Amino acid sequence: MVENSLSPAAITNNLDTRFIGQRVIYYPRLTSTMDVAKREAQQGAIEGTVVIAGEQTAGRGRIKRPWLSPTGSIALSIILYPSLAYLPSLIMVASLAVVHCIDKVTGLKSQIKWPNDVLVNDKKVCGILIESDVRGNAVDYAIIGVGINANLRLSDFTEIPPTATSLSHELGRKVSRLDIIRCLLAETERLYLALPGGESVYHGWRDNLATLGKKVRVKSGETTYEGIAESVASDGSLLLRQSDGSLTKIVTGDITLYQ
């Protein structure tokens, strides 16, 4: 299969969006799309500007962890200017958009591992990073970063842990990165524009969580909690039922599933 072009023209051509993806900046090789997107946002880039890299050499995930993005993967960042009220919902918008597009383009069923991973067959195929600059009650900018293991042969990368997978590995064939990216941009915009209409995005995100009902361990800061992941709040926080019966709200953390 010949890899589709990821040129701005190929991505934006007849793209069914109002603003997300109408301006695309593409780099064949880049340290981090997040860094370029941040610079673009600080310079007043139009909302919906997308930075895409064919390969990232210094990609990062949450807590500044490295994120491997070799040729064949998808690495992109989307610049948004949301109101402060919608900032906590961006992780829901992004992860739900990824789930919908994996299903639509590949037919694979995926789930969301709280707070920011997408899994296929219980293995990580996508990581999402949200970075923002907030001053007082105003959001200067927010950037959604998405990294998807698309066409990676896992045996070629010893750095990839056994808890990860790729779309091509699960399918047994390569996937169209162009189709996934175009779907992702359109679906992200659709969900983003739905935020003022109520809690539909929250409900969709919650219903696709692999975490709920499972026994988990969560490390949040210096504290580690164990219990049953009972539910999630509308702000994205995890509600953990501990062994003593207490219900703890965890805003962010790293989670390990026991079952």
**Domain span at 67:** 8-207
pLDDT at residue 66, rounded to an integer: 52
Q: Are residues 145 and 242 in the same domain?
A: no
Q: Are residues 198 and 223 in the same domain?
A: no
How far apart CA 83 and CA 88 sit, in angstroms, is 10
pLDDT at residue 64, rounded to an integer: 55
Q: Are residues 105 and 225 in the same domain?
A: no
The answer to whether position 220 is within a domain reads yes
CATH number assigned to the domain comprising residue 229: 2.30.30.100
Determine the residue type at 216.
V
The predicted-structure confidence for 65-87, as pLDDT tens digits, reads as follows 555 667 889 999 999 999 999 99
How far apart CA 148 and CA 69 sit, in angstroms, is 8
The answer to whether position 24 is within a domain reads yes
**Average pLDDT of the residues in 35-62:** 88
Strands of the chain, DSSP E: 24-27, 50-53, 74-80, 110-113, 117-120, 123-135, 138-148, 215-220, 223-232, 238-241, 247-250, 254-257
pLDDT at residue 53, rounded to an integer: 94
The answer to whether position 3 is within a domain reads no
The model's confidence at residue 2, banded by pLDDT at 50, 70 and 90, is very low
The predicted-structure confidence for 194-243, as pLDDT tens digits, reads as follows 999 888 899 999 999 999 999 999 998 899 999 999 999 999 999 999 99
The predicted-structure confidence for 127-175, as pLDDT tens digits, reads as follows 999 999 999 989 999 999 999 999 988 777 777 778 899 999 999 999 9
